[in-house]
């Protein structure tokens, strides 16, 4: 039987994350002496050195410490899962769940997921983080997120995923644009006009690749990092834009009308995915959310929605 305790592992992980005994003590709200004692006892039990202690310079992990840090995090998470599930007799989901989301997607999909969680699993504390895709994937690999919702564009290796829905890029124009009444528009027809480019990775890279595949060089007039600002500039007549996410209302924040047109010839669609690091076993809470999202998230895009489908999405499937 293992002689070490979960408390000792918890102290070790806190030291590894903080990089110092005092930082770990502040996180755990105990004294540095208590942290040092727990760490020393853990090293004695395991018969190995886990950290190198440097006076006034914090600590660094030994190779064995790096290995244990990864294994200990999994063990501590499983122990917490056991506590949460035992408290409910395994009959209901409970505990924290942190979901990251690419910022332009978040207004359409997060409300659905938050409402479903609150109604069907009220003991799950669902926290959401909306950032750029690069920031979201970095947080995911750092263990700060359980799941993330991102576009299938430029994703790093080492992720498992489930497809939520597909979206197709489109052109957004001022309502009084000369082509506003057309059923669709080619990118070549807009080549000489000013482009308002949403420059929030990976959106800009994807948009420029769409133009490249069409054999068109756009005239970029403005770059923004905000989705709604992009739409507002277009509504003011400062140019056009190519976007992927499409709100249900074709108006800017100022209430000015916009026109959305499909691109002719059609360009490839983009997948919106829920992702998590490969090899990580999802908690029951994360599995439930991923399952619901995969079944219902497509209805957050109003182009896929009808009255019956919307009612089903709002009700959600039976709780696991």
Task: Report pLDDT digits (tens) over 32-84.
Answer: 899 899 999 999 998 899 999 887 668 888 989 888 988 888 787 777 766 66
Across 281-308, average pLDDT: 76
Highest mean pLDDT among 138-142, 228-232, 247-251: 228-232
Strand partners, 149: 101, 274
C-alpha–C-alpha distance, residues 61 and 267, integer Å: 49
Across 121-127, average pLDDT: 91
Q: Looking at residue 91, what is its pLDDT?
A: 59
Across 261-269, average pLDDT: 93
Across 15-19, average pLDDT: 89
Above pLDDT 90, what percent of the chain?
53
**Domain 170-263 listed as CATH 3.40.720.10:** no
- Residue 201 is given by DSSP the state T
Any idea where the domains of the chain sit in the sequence?
6-87, 95-163+270-315, 170-263
Start-to-end Cα distance in the chain? 35
Mean pLDDT across the chain: 87
Specify the residue for token string 């769940």.
Answer: 97
Residue 320 reports pLDDT greater than 50: no
Across 182-196, average pLDDT: 95
Q: Give the residue, 313 or 288, on which the prediction is more confident.
A: 288
Contacts of 97 (CB under 8 A, 6+ apart): 117, 124, 125, 126, 127, 146, 147, 283, 285, 286, 289
Domain 95-163+270-315 shares a fold with domain 170-263? yes
The separation between CA 69 and the C-alpha centre of its own chain, rounded to angstroms, equals 24
Fold of 95-163+270-315: D-Maltodextrin-Binding Protein; domain 2 (3.40.190)
When pLDDT is cut at 50, 70 and 90, the band that residue 142 belongs to is: confident
What architecture (CATH level 2) is domain 6-87?
Orthogonal Bundle (1.10)
Strand partners, 148: 100, 275
pTM of this prediction? 0.71
When pLDDT is cut at 50, 70 and 90, the band that residue 310 belongs to is: very low
When pLDDT is cut at 50, 70 and 90, the band that residue 212 belongs to is: very high
DSSP line for 64-106: HHHHHHHHHHHHHHHHHHHHHHHHTTTSS--EEEEEEEETTTH
């Amino acid at each position: 039987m293992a002689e070490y305790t979960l408390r000792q592992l918890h102290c070790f992980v806190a030291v590894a994350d903080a990089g110092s005994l005092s930082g770990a003590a502040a996180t755990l709200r105990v004294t540095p002496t208590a942290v040092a004692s727990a760490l020393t006892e853990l090293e004695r039990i395991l018969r190995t050195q886990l950290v190198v202690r440097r006076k006034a310079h914090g600590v660094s992990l030994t190779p064995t410490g790096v290995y244990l840090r990864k294994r200990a995090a999994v063990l501590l998470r499983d122990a917490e899962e056991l506590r949460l599930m035992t408290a409910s007799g395994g009959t209901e989901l409970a505990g924290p769940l942190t979901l990251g989301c690419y910022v332009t997607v978040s207004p359409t999909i997060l409300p659905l997921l938050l409402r479903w969680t609150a109604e069907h699993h009220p003991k799950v504390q669902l926290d959401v983080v909306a950032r750029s895709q690069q920031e979201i994937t970095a947080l995911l690999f750092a263990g700060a997120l359980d799941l993330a919702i991102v576009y299938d564009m430029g994703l790093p290796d080492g992720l498992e995923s489930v497809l939520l829905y597909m979206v197709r890029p489109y052109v957004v124009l001022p309502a009084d644009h000369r082509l506003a009444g057309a059923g669709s528009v080619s990118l070549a027809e807009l080549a000489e006009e000013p482009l308002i480019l949403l420059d929030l990775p990976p959106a800009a890279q994807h948009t420029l690749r769409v133009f490249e595949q069409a054999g068109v060089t756009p005239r970029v007039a403005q770059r923004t990092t905000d989705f709604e600002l992009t739409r507002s500039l277009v509504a003011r007549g400062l140019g056009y834009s190519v976007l992927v996410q499409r709100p249900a209302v074709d108006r800017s924040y100022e209430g000015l009308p916009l026109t959305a047109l499909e691109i002719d010839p059609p360009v490839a669609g983009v997948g919106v995915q829920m992702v998590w690091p490969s090899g990580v076993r999802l908690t029951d809470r994360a599995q439930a959310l991923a399952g619901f999202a995969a079944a219902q998230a497509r209805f957050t895009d109003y182009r896929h929605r009808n009255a019956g489908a919307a009612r089903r999405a709002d009700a959600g499937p039976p709780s696991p």
